[in-house]
Chains A and B, each alone.
Chain A
């Protein structure tokens, strides 16, 4: 969700609710000689409102589980989650008079602070990273499919190299020919079998290089490029860096016959796409990693908050 001008309504409403909470808190500390207390009428009211906001924010998870329910627009739910969840913090701080209290309330307060802070952090990341990803990862794919696509890229590269260097002994399953990673060379069984699309480039004739001619390519591919395609996260690889990779491929073009230039270009494109997938993975971790903190702690907060409500009413 983008934090843009469309959030102004929620922002103003949140500000108004915060001001109302602050006014109630101020009345409490002025009127009650003991200062603000969670157990006073105003304190209880602020606590109930704060917990209600938390429950609403938590309900977003349930709402996502059943997207078919007609319970308002997803955007409204998300905005409510964001702003009411944020408001829960000042309400609870007013409720407790800015004191963290005993063991349970202290745990609750820290859970709330971490949950809200992680939510704000996530909202900021989600407002910034998607734009960055669009700019830096034009070949973005579905995150869950990155490993799968990476495998297809490797197979595509295998085929391209074997087309020049002959069989390199890579095991190949029959169904492999049915899928490609999205980049196609002259050897494109899928395109041939599925019927050539207007968008698919026509295949060109490929000449098998001699052993001596293909040696630099074979050596580069087996010792460097294939390792990069299999384990792109491994540190210190030249192909993980765009500038160094460009230099590597430029050098390769000089040592190979001119007829291999197209294949080298394909391999360079495959490496480039693999790098983008790696970048996408990293950005995705930033974009969603905070949820590993936010969601579990918010659930713990709801559970312990309910316990606190019951116990506080009793004691």
Chain B
């Protein structure tokens, strides 16, 4: 007999009071519903009464402020009678000054911004620097600057509106072709090919690093340098050597490391190995790489010492067949005074130096070329004057030292921006400085244009950062004021 199932029989088997008795599932649900909020409250209470206020934090502090994680009150100042305790500028300024950006801002033409408007905290251990849009708030439409503004009015980002670097701007914007103000004559293209190292030296292939290095102090091995010149003390000043930094009324930014900028190329480190400053076959030593008066004094000293050591040199024999003028009617031999010999030797050497050796690289002025030896023998042979008179004339000419134009080397091509060569050390120099391979003129500016930077620095994935603060700073740190120290280390770390 098969079992039979009816609605009534099914209903009869049910205990009608079943819902009054909790099942394990219902019990578990109830207890968990009680337990979870209780655990949450206990957790919060534990943090609060334990004095650890980090639980309230809306995010980790930046690396610069990480030490203040437990010190909410260090920045969040509660106003009297108020409930809110927002981060206050005064709290920021208690630890570090925040000098204004530009004089225009201090004059009140632009709204004063709270620190936290640009320096967003509680965003994790990232840099606290402002982002591009903070800057674009003003620079996106710099209307306050007026028509005579020195600054570009509309810069939204590095890709949108940022002008070409000032050093490279052309006549259309700055009233003249971009030129390197330096006076050292250098043909980069020539030096980047195979070139002979010295008058009788082998052919060598220079590399950029043979002359350009980020630091002078840490690099001692200069392939084409000369240790004697490197050790010598120069008498010329930085003002004669380097172009003044900064522009448009703004001071130049100071590099934060000695590897950030390329060090200026020095004759002692990069040139002396090939470009010898020898002046006379009697001497192996070259003249110092220094001011003309120092060179002159060096020559006088060297010739004087030589004359004292070699008195036979004071008797000279003229070789008529070598007289190019055909006026060899004078005496064939003569003996001159040591002082005259020195004067004449110095004069001849200086003629060589001023008009050939030095002027190969430097702009020399206030001197005229003359063949000192011919002039001397001419003077000796003429009826109008004596040998001593000629010597006096030569000496007078020698005393008239040339003027060497200031080198005017530009140390910082981007005076209002940071560029860190060290951060780019993985890239070949000529990848960015492409013109270095073909430049023949001293006046050529060889820094890469903004387009080269934008090849890598752009917004979006796959590009390096292009934030304003990567290159520029907002605050004028030249105006910084010292602050009074606030924190004590044990208390700070303990959160008290």
Contact = CB atoms under 8 A, between A and B. Distances in A.
A and B assemble together: yes
Interface of A: 33-35, 37-39, 99-105, 107, 139, 141-145, 148-149, 152, 179-186, 190, 197, 199-201, 203-204, 262, 265-266, 269-270, 288, 291-292, 295-297, 299-300, 302-304, 307, 311-315
A182 B9 contact: yes
Contact of B120 (A34, A299, A300, A315): A34
Q: How large is the interface on B (under 10, 10 to 19, 20 to 34, 35 or more residues)?
A: 35 or more
A297 B36 contact: yes
Contacts of A186: 1
A303 B37 CA distance: 6
A265 B28 CA distance: 39
Contacts of B255: none
A33 B134 contact: yes
B32 interface: yes
Q: Which 7 A-B pairs have the closest CB atoms?
A: A183-B3, A296-B36, A102-B57, A33-B133, A199-B6, A296-B32, A300-B36
Contacts of B4: 183-184, 199-201
A31 B355 CA distance: 66
Contact of B84 (A200, A296, A302, A313): A313
A245 to B, nearest CB: 15
Interface stretch (B14-22, B263-271, B356-364): B14-22
Interface string B99-118: 00000000000000000011
A104 B55 CA distance: 5
A103 B14 contact: no
Contact of B2 (A35, A100, A181, A266): A266
A33 B33 contact: no
A288 B21 CA distance: 18
A301 B467 CA distance: 38
Contacts, number: 155
A34 B1 contact: no
A104 B56 contact: yes
20 contacts: A34-B134, A101-B58, A101-B122, A103-B55, A104-B56, A142-B14, A142-B18, A145-B18, A148-B18, A180-B13, A183-B5, A185-B1, A199-B9, A204-B1, A262-B1, A292-B29, A295-B29, A296-B36, A313-B84, A315-B85
Given A292-B28, A295-B33, A300-B39, A201 B1 contact: yes
A86 B301 CA distance: 95
B83 A313 contact: yes
Nearest to A108: B40
A101 B56 CA distance: 10
B8 A197 contact: yes
Contacts of A37: 120
Contact of A144 (B23, B134, B136): B23
B14 A145 contact: yes
Interface string B112-133: 0000011010111000001101
B10 interface: yes
A314 B83 contact: yes
A47 to B, nearest CB: 12
A61 to B, nearest CB: 8
B3 A270 contact: yes
Interface in B168-226: none
B275 interface: no
Contacts of B59: 99-102, 105
Contact of B19 (A102, A144, A190, A313): A144
Q: For B36, B54, B118, B134, which residue has the most chain A Cβ atoms within 10 angstroms?
A: B36
Nearest to B11: A182
Interface string B75-92: 010000001111000000
A180 B57 contact: no
Contacts of B23: 143-144
Contacts of A38: 58
Nearest to B84: A314
Interface string B28-71: 11001101110111011001000000111111100000000000
Nearest to A146: B23
B465 interface: no
A201 B39 CA distance: 58
Contacts of B8: 197, 199
B54 A103 contact: yes
B221 to A, nearest CB: 48
B142 interface: no
Contacts of B29: 291-292, 295-296
Contacts of B149: none
